[in-house]
A = this chain, B = another copy of it.
């Protein structure tokens, strides 16, 4: 079995990126130019680019061109005390998080169960998007009991940190109770929100936070770009 055409160009571009011959943000030649240069069909070029996009090494943008990705992989540490900002900022990453929407809804079953609420109880769904160096890395929703935290989203927006917001509700400390992670392919709208190619998979992270005595205070479901994050867990306190 001789090497397939498309893997040759994939590996060459990949090597050029690693070696620094192509650097973050650089525009690649167009598909036709690459096809010309490597003397292969455009299909093979597209296949190579698709593979690189899936690995998060390049970013393909219709109508504009193809660029070397400029988003290094983050390490996100999940531990007993998981804190977004304390986690990412030490990596020299500028982390911001924006409130997209906040609505009161009747809790879906799995949300009610996670928060130990009666089925159909009112919860506050806060949808947020997280950016690292202005690049989206994750988005999703957190759910809080609407009775206990009626204006959680507003306070969170003003205070700028989840830890401070809980404190304003009289909760001095909180811990991660449960986390689950699985990988799947991205839906078109998810890819759009994360400003990434549809072919890049996502990691779906579901979590439950609680007060130190074990009372659940929030549950969340967050979609992460699989190419932009590595999760680590310290089982001995975090």
Residues of A within 8 A of B (CB): 51, 54-55, 73, 75, 78-80, 175-185, 201, 203, 214, 226-227, 229-236, 238
Q: Is B55 a contact partner of A236 (Cβ separation < 8 A)?
A: no
Q: Is the CB of B73 within 8 A of A182?
A: yes
From known contacts A183-B201, A185-B54, infer whether A177 and B234 are also in contact, taking CB-CB under 8 Å: yes
Contact: A51 with B185, CB < 8 Å? Answer: yes
Q: Please, how many angstroms separate the alpha-carbon atoms of A78 and B75 in the complex?
A: 18
Interface contact B235-A238, CB-CB below 8 Å? yes
Instruction: Give chain A's interface secondary structure class.
Output: strand
Copies of this protein in the complex: 2
Question: When A201-B201, A201-B226, A230-B180 are in contact, do A185 and B55 touch as well, CB less than 8 Å?
Answer: yes
Decide if A177 touches B54 in the complex (CB within 8 Å). Answer: no
Cα separation A180 to B78 with both chains bound (whole Å):
9
A75 to chain B, nearest CB (A): 8
Residues of B within 8 A of A233 (CB): 78, 178-181, 233
Tell me whether A232 and B178 are in contact in the complex, defined as CB-CB below 8 angstroms, given that A201-B201, A226-B201 are known contacts. yes
Shortest distance between the CB of A234 and any CB in chain B (Å):
6
- B73 with A235: CB separation less than 8 A: no
Q: A75: which B residues are within 8 A, CB to CB?
A: 180
Asked whether B175 lies within 8 Å of A235 as measured between CB atoms, the reply is yes
Determine the chain B residues whose CB is within 8 A of the CB of A230 once the complex forms: 180-182
Contacts of A226 in B (CB 8 A): 182-184, 201
- Report 29 cross-chain contacts, Cβ distance below 8 Å, ordered by A residue: A54-B201, A55-B184, A78-B235, A79-B235, A80-B235, A175-B235, A176-B235, A177-B234, A177-B235, A177-B236, A178-B234, A179-B232, A180-B231, A180-B232, A181-B230, A181-B231, A181-B232, A181-B233, A182-B226, A182-B229, A182-B231, A183-B226, A183-B227, A184-B226, A201-B201, A214-B236, A233-B233, A235-B235, A235-B238
